[in-house]
Each structure stands twice: as structure tokens, then as C-alpha cells.
């Protein structure tokens, strides 16, 4: 069967997207809405855990509900290096979770964390994917880490995202880390040959609109002394996250 998935946002600064008033120093919670929509579209049953404040007590209560009701818990926020980033400690100290990784050499999504939690009720292990709080980082890491895991649990023979070779439609500057840039694909370019990928503008991890039209993530190598950019026409791998239109 397909796993049941719980989704939690964390942060004192968050308010519901439907809130009529946005207090000073607050932002609307976009991550939970996006993640729930992506999960439902893929056919998974979702438990909405709401928003947890940045306190050990609030995080423990929300996480316990998710672990009781779901096979997999997805959180966003609370995994960087700030004073209020308490999620890793709560998972390890309160739930005896095993931290498998808490940093990933990639852009966006460096703080991505994965923990398994022993569950005495049925002697199983629950999976917790703690994703970064920046909206683009959350969605990119959802597709790269969470989707393949859910597909594996659901019995897919090949759970990884489909990958295809594409040509860059423009020059792209490389980062010091491997990077996954959002892009649209032209499957039938006028000159024939491989599909052509065009990035969706600024790739800032807080710029959510860069995800709106994206059908692929371009897997770019890290910058080196000899190679600081890729030129238009260079070939790269594109991981498909939606059907190109």
C-alpha cells in the first residue's frame, strides 16, 4: 500500500495562508500547502499537522501526532543553525530518532535532514524528512529525497525521478556546490536533437515563482578553477518533476 504522510510546518513567524491579517515580522505558510498538494496529486493520503511553534513542547506534541497517524512525517523549517532550530534535538532526544544525515552538499537544500524513529506500537521505524524552510529548498528536496522514498515504500520497481539528457538554452553560472536549477523543457526544438532547457529566472531559494512553471531540475556540477560556467548548447541531466507542456 502507499504510505500515509503527515506534513508539518515549523516557525514562530508563520501564519495560515488564509489569515486575513499578516502581523509584523510574520509570513504566510506556503510550504505546507505546496507539499500537501504535491502529495495528493501523487495519490498519497495526507495528515495535516498544522504549524508548530519553535519550542520543544510544541514540536514534540505535533511530531507525536504525526508519528501516531502516518508512516512518514515531512517537516519544513527548524533544521538550520539558528537558536530556534530545535527539530533535530527533539527528534533525537524525545523520540530516540537516529540521525542519518543533517547536511547535504547541494544547492538549494543544504540543511536537509533525515531521521528514522523506532515505533514500539508495531515495532516499525517511522521516517522523518526535515526539509529546509525556504520554499524552493523545501520543494526541490521533496522531489529529490521524499518522492523516491515514498515510491520505494509503495512498491515502485524504479522509484527514482526520470532523467533525460537536455541542452542548455542559455549560459549558466556554476555554484561551489552541486546545484539543481528549475527549468522548463522544449521537447521539440526547431533545430531537432535533444530537448532544450531554459531556467525559470532567478534561482534564489526564496523565490517560489521559480517552481511555478518548472517541469525539470537541472543537475549542474560544482564550479572548478577551470570551469566557472556552462555554455548554451552544453548537455546536462534533467530530472523530471512534471510533464513538460
CB proximity list for 104: less than 8 A, separation 6 or greater: 110, 111, 112, 141
pLDDT at 245: 67
Per-residue pLDDT tens digits for 180-214? 999 999 999 888 899 999 999 989 988 989 998 99
Segment 98-129, tens digit of pLDDT: 999 999 999 999 999 999 999 977 778 999 99
Confidence at residue 122, expressed as pLDDT on a 0 to 100 scale? 73
Q: Is 203 exposed, middle or buried (0-12, 13-18, 19+ CB in 10 A)?
A: buried
Task: Please give the Cα distance from 120 to 102 (Å, whole number).
Answer: 24
All three cell numbers of 86, joined, read 530545535
Q: How far is C-alpha 206 from the chain's CA centre?
A: 13
Ranges of residues in the chain whose predicted pLDDT is under 70: 245
Cell of 10: 515549523
Whole-angstrom Cα distance, residue 173 to residue 108? Answer: 15
Amino acid at each position: 500500500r502507499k504510505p500515509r504522510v503527515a506534513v508539518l510546518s515549523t516557525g514562530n513567524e508563520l501564519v495560515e495562508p488564509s489569515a486575513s491579517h499578516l502581523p509584523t515580522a510574520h509570513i504566510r505558510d506556503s510550504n505546507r500547502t505546496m507539499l500537501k498538494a504535491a502529495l495528493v496529486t501523487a495519490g498519497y493520503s495526507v495528515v495535516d499537522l498544522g504549524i508548530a511553534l519553535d519550542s520543544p513542547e510544541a514540536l514534540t506534541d505535533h511530531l507525536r501526532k504525526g508519528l501516531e497517524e502516518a508512516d512518514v512525517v515531512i517537516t519544513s523549517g527548524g533544521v538550520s543553525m539558528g537558536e530556534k532550530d530545535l527539530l533535530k534535538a527533539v527528534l533525537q532526544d524525545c523520540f530516540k530518532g537516529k540521525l542519518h544525515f543533517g547536511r547535504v552538499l547541494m544547492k538549494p537544500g543544504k540543511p536537509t535532514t533525515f531521521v528514522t524513529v523506532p515505533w514500539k506500537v508495531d515495532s516499525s521505524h517511522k521516517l522523518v524528512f526535515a526539509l529546509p524552510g525556504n520554499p524552493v529548498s523545501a520543494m526541490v528536496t521533496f522531489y529529490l529525497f521524499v518522492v523516491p522514498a515514498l515510491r520505494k515504500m509503495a512498491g515502485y520497481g524504479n522509484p527514482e525521478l526520470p532523467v533525460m539528457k537536455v541542452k542548455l538554452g542559455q549560459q549558466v553560472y556554476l555554484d561551489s556546490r552541486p546545484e539543481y536549477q528549475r527549468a522548463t523543457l522544449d521537447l521539440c526544438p526547431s533545430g531537432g536533437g535533444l530537448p532544450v532547457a531554459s531556467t525559470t529566472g532567478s534561482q534564489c531559494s526564496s523565490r517560489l515563482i521559480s517552481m511555478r512553471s518548472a517541469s525539470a531540475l537541472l543537475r549542474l556540477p560544482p564550479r572548478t578553477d577551470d570551469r566557472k560556467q556552462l555554455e548554451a548548447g552544453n548537455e546536462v541531466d534533467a530530472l523530471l518533476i512534471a510533464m513538460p507542456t
